[in-house]
Structure 1
Amino acid sequence: MHLHKKVKVVLVTPTQPSLNPRLVKEADALNEAGYDVTVLCCYWNAWGAASDDEILATRAWKVIRVGGDPVQKRITYFISRVLHKVFNILTDKFRLTAFTHLAVARGSLFLMREVANHKADLYIGHNLGALPAIVKAAKKFSAKCGFDAEDLHRYEATYDRGQASYNRNRYLEDKYFGELNYLTTASPLMAQEYGELYPDKRPVAILNVFPKGPTFAKSINNGVIRLFWFSQTIGPHRGLETIIEALALLPEAPLELHLLGEGNMYADYIKELINGRPNIHLHHPIPSDQLITFASQFDIGLAAELNIPHNHDICLANKIFTYLQAGLAVLASDTVAQKQFMTEHPTIGQCYKLNNAADIASKLNLWLQQRELLLHNASAALKLGHGEMNWESESQKLLKVVSDTLAN
């Protein structure tokens, strides 16, 4: 039902749609509800740009990319990188906070300039690099603005309050959050912490769930059990080292580990990580729209989040919710947020002790010995994904927040 055709919403992000599936889901939901949606974004990497083309080919909302790119708009891209470095030096080295809103992301300046050309009723920011732009645009056009915090940004990179990244992000939050008409987050614990920092914002948690996928047929697997993990980048500090250490404790077990992500940045690390192990397989990045179907061929989904920095401890990343739609049993590290989620939904899999390879091996061995349990967990995950943990249900929270904001 299209009730809001004249209501214009501009979504702003310093990354690309393919690298921000949460933004894509939000744009889809708003467009389907009848809003006139425009997305302003920036180039991030080559595979993301290629994936954008596939994702956006089926979308009705408009996309405008600013800040250049290394292929078609090289000069603008070069200038943006130089300016970003200069702004970072001015902010971090010389403590000139007047440049903080320009230092936070390569495309911040270009997003601010572009969004000023788009009169809208509501501006929504994703990632701190978009925050100054949406607040300034809302002021210029006497409109509303909201921000979706997928991370607890001040603790996104460090818990050390002496670090430049902490001070920069806290400064931006303190300066601009007060101007927001609403604040959403990606996990209940994140909403709780932001609520303590900014009580008047009353943050709303909107989980990183996905639209319902196909009902993948599941049956007992008596052969090789395949583990799956994905990220934008395969690299260190993602919990993979402990997973591989656990596999080494089960040398004769019929197990495979499949990793999906960009590996060029950490080629040496990946080579050392695999170290000739034949049961570890690498997969190139794919468009986010294809991820759930691709994941469905595996048996166990790994949510190997670490608890450092603090942001990782309280976030619910999209991994678990991807595994639910794909019908995979979930093996999750016991960060505060994931332990809470797995305690609330114990039938979908198991939770292991952080940095404890022996405990991971024990959990895997249980599934190896009890294949019926593995099937039960996978089936329960799919049922949960098709029941309450899906975007069809969760998007209603977003639409209510937007509707209430525009009505007030």
Structure 2
Amino acid sequence: MSLGYGTSHYYKKAKNIKADLFICHQELATYIGTKLIKAGFKVAFDLEDWYSEDLLPAARAERPINLLQTTESVALNKGVFCITTSKALAKKLSQTYKCPIPTAVYNVFPSPDVDLNKPKGFSNPLKLFWFSQTIGTGRGLEQFINISKGFKNSVEIHLLGNITPQYKELLNSILPAQHKLYFHELVEESKLAAKIASFDIGLALELDSPMSRNYTITNKFFQYIQSGLPVIASETAGQIEGFEQFKPGYLLPQQPLAMDISKLEQWLNNATALQTARGKAIEMAGIFNWENESKKLLNSINEALEK
């Protein structure tokens, strides 16, 4: 099975459970969910990514794209409900597959144990933070470091995650002399919010390709604001959506001109603007958290069970 191993085993296991409602997440489970629908079960789907559009062209050649597209079409048209990570992605999936618009349940976490009301100043130089399980290419890091060549004032760029020696060497080789680059090892999930809060600004750097990356809003965007950090976010369809109401930082074009880089530097050097953005981030965190977003999921489940 090109989407994973043990398809028949998991399918039989699921059938034997005879659940009132199955909720399928990730590619293999989504495929199994479409088989469960054919067997007469009630199935919903959690599409955290646009699976058939989640890889760069070089990697797509080895992926079962047609199977993924067929699986997505069945899930979106025949599932009792579908949820996904942004309104932008929900709308795009609906247009592509001629299906009802999925419910957007943002990829947020329970409100962390971080005192967001405690006054906080900004460091000099500013400490900019980015994290992921893996630090690697295709995440906008090289692009941002190149942009930072235009900053007159120094900044610190802090990266947390697993990284290869080769990629670490690459990043250090392109780092402008006026800045410093620091690497941090992974921390326990329970300690991540406090770790994030120890920095000044979160970097939500994303490329607008592949399409899945363009339309989703990643968890790190929300984890920054939930820890009280203003955000520098790459301009993607998903992150534009995240900025629409609150503007918790600075939205950076994918191909920034000299004027855009100058405006970003002015913003970084404006303590009042940074504090305003921090206030907006904290205000946004009061709305975009799991305590609120979980209600959407529970409502969808209740409606599905009542049908």
Give TM-score scaled by structure 2 length: 0.87
Between the two structures, name the one with larger relative contact order (CA 8 Å, sep ≥ 6): 2
CA gap 1:202/1:368 in 2 versus in 1, 3 angstroms: closer
Match of residue 121 from structure 2: 220
Counterparts of 1:166-181 in structure 2 under 5 Å?
166-181=65-80
CA gap 1:117/1:219 in 2 versus in 1, 3 angstroms: same
Unaligned runs of 5+ in 2: none
Match of residue 148 from structure 2: 247
Counterparts of 1:121-270 in structure 2 under 5 Å?
121-137=20-36, 142-158=40-56, 163=61, 165=63, 166-213=65-112, 214-216=114-116, 217-250=118-151, 253-264=153-164, 267-270=165-168
Task: Provide the identity percentage.
Answer: 30
CA distance in 2, matches of 1:256, 1:209: 27
CA gap 1:297/1:334 in 2 versus in 1, 3 angstroms: same
Instruction: Calculate the aligned-residue CA RMSD, in Å.
Output: 2.6
CA distance in 2, matches of 1:116, 1:126: 17
Contact 1:239/1:355 (CA < 8 Å) preserved in 2? no
Match of residue 184 from structure 2: 283
Deviation track 1:114-159 (CA, whole Å, cap 9, x = no partner) reads 434433211111111111223434665x542111111122212257
Residue 103 (1) aligns with residue 2 (2): yes
Residue 390 (1) aligns with residue 289 (2): yes
User: 2:243 is paired with a residue of what secondary structure?
Assistant: helix
CA distance in 2, matches of 1:308, 1:375: 32
Match of residue 378 from structure 1: 278
Counterparts of 1:286-365 in structure 2 under 5 Å?
286-346=187-247, 348-356=248-256, 358=258, 361-365=261-265
Contact 1:104/1:128 (CA < 8 Å) preserved in 2? yes
CA gap 1:360/1:208 in 2 versus in 1, 3 angstroms: farther
CA distance in 2, matches of 1:302, 1:345: 17
The one-letter code of the counterpart of 1:317 is T
The one-letter code of the counterpart of 2:301 is V
CA distance in 1, matches of 2:174, 2:88: 40
Match of residue 405 from structure 1: 304
CA distance in 1, matches of 2:188, 2:304: 32
Match of residue 80 from structure 1: none
The one-letter code of the counterpart of 2:205 is A
CA distance in 1, matches of 2:191, 2:15: 34
Give TM-score scaled by structure 1 length: 0.67
Unaligned runs of 5+ in 1: 1-101
CA distance in 2, matches of 1:168, 1:135: 12
